A and B are shown apart, each in its own frame.
Chain A
């Protein structure tokens, strides 16, 4: 099951710190170096004519296609459509998942009733549900959004539940003996205490939603979206358009992880000193 220890595997935080006295420029150069090497190898292979150019376009052609698709607005439109689906589905999962997780953590009965259902449904890879959802809800947006919500809610539920359970007994007793009522206890102790876990859950959920969505867009016959773009480009052997789509997917994925969640964590749990920055 995907219960994460808060802070573990958070990529950005673990990057080697910049040694003092090393210039910004040198760091940038150092980070760019591997890409230059890989790009050069790619370029050599592409120009060597080992593979047909349609299948293995050189970097400059991918770049040109990328710019062309961006300027004409095709790529941004696909990206916006994908993001809208992702956010709708994920928001649904976050709200429902956190609510269920909190209820499971707080009430023994809810836990005992829901846990078996969750444990039966969770180990099935989300994508396997795709055809079923397609049959039930038809091709299109409803299926895509519901599937994303369904799949990404499991990590949220698990982690929220674990987080509530992990709140130290002594904090609860201390707050109670200082006269906190149930509501205050929940708002001031349990919720902040569980928050690092909830964030890991949301993070995992979003990552899973992102992975699933790309595939769902290929299968669910939606008319816009990055997954569809890549899949559609295959029909016409537009490998350059495919690679441009993959680049956008990578940028968005990285952006979601770095900008959204890192910020959120910095503002809350890191500032409260619950996990190390």
Chain B
């Protein structure tokens, strides 16, 4: 649809807008209108970022954050996937779990941080549990609605062709629910990523990207804050696009269940 001239124009515009935003920021930073400590120039931020990567501290912070987010996230998926399927397949499970989920879901994970700090102290356990809490519900709800949304016609067709319960589950229900499940897992990761940063800020330990940002505030190290923001955004983006994008391409897109929307 878009010709190459259109594409060049849209690239040029994208570049223009990013450069313009950077220039405005740089102008404000250099104008001396605000203290330099609060508005570090872009070169300063980049220098700090490079320095922190070079001395390994940024990698360590990122490593801690990734460790927490992955452990909590994997635990959440491990619990929520089977539970979601069970809820959709067995009425009593659904009737027991659903009211609880409805009551717990609107509680933001951060509201539990102070409570968890009292119970589990400061550090890895609290942050991992917060991530776990944040990531569980999207997977649970999406798996549940995904399994319920499997076209009954497919089920009947498969049964009529002699599929037993197990084959039905493996060959029809799981693939049928997959688009929903992947959406859920994706949302869960986004939430987990937000939760880990917040939890690290409040339940501060010694390492972690959220902790670094909050700690930098105490010393007015705005450049360190900016550098960590960039890393947080970058890592979130990488996971969202590369990991889950690849997952989606390998499953539901390849099976033709959802079409790639251009955007």
What residues of chain A have their CB less than 8 Å away from a CB belonging to chain B? 1-2, 8-9, 11, 14-16, 30-35, 37-38, 51, 55-56, 109, 112-117, 120-121, 123-132, 134-136, 162, 165, 210-212, 214-215, 218-219, 226-227, 230-231, 233-234, 237, 239, 242-243, 245-246, 249-250, 252-254, 256-257
Contacts and interface: CB of A to CB of B under 8 A. Distances in A.
Given A14-B145, A246-B111, A34 B14 contact: no
Interface string B212-226: 011011001010011
A131 B110 contact: no
Interface in B173-227: 183, 187, 190, 193-194, 197-198, 201-202, 209-210, 213-214, 216-217, 220, 222, 225-226
B98 interface: yes
A31 B99 contact: yes
Interface stretch (B16-24, B56-64, B76-84): B16-24
A38 B198 CA distance: 28
B128 interface: no
A116 B114 contact: no
A132 B110 contact: no
B154 interface: no
A112 to B, nearest CB: 4
29 contacts: A2-B190, A9-B142, A11-B105, A14-B145, A33-B99, A35-B100, A55-B118, A113-B13, A117-B18, A121-B233, A124-B232, A125-B197, A128-B210, A128-B228, A130-B213, A131-B213, A131-B214, A135-B220, A162-B263, A165-B263, A211-B109, A211-B194, A214-B111, A215-B198, A234-B114, A246-B111, A246-B112, A250-B107, A253-B106
Name the 8 nearest CB pairs between A and B, nearest first: A253-B106, A215-B110, A211-B108, A112-B13, A125-B194, A124-B233, A131-B217, A234-B114
A128 B95 CA distance: 38
A250 B106 contact: yes
B211 to A, nearest CB: 11
Given A33-B96, A211-B109, A239-B118, A123 B233 contact: yes
B117 interface: yes
A230 B102 contact: no
Interface of B: 9-10, 13-18, 21, 38, 94-100, 102-115, 117-119, 141-142, 145, 148, 183, 187, 190, 193-194, 197-198, 201-202, 209-210, 213-214, 216-217, 220, 222, 225-226, 228-229, 232-233, 236-237, 240, 263
Given A211-B109, A211-B110, A231-B114, A125 B10 contact: no
Contacts of B232: 124-125, 128
A198 B226 CA distance: 32
Given A116-B14, A162-B263, A130 B112 contact: no
B107 A11 contact: no
Given A16-B94, A211-B110, A125 B198 contact: yes
A226 B110 CA distance: 12
Nearest to A257: B106
A244 B37 CA distance: 40
A239 B194 CA distance: 25
A132 B194 contact: no
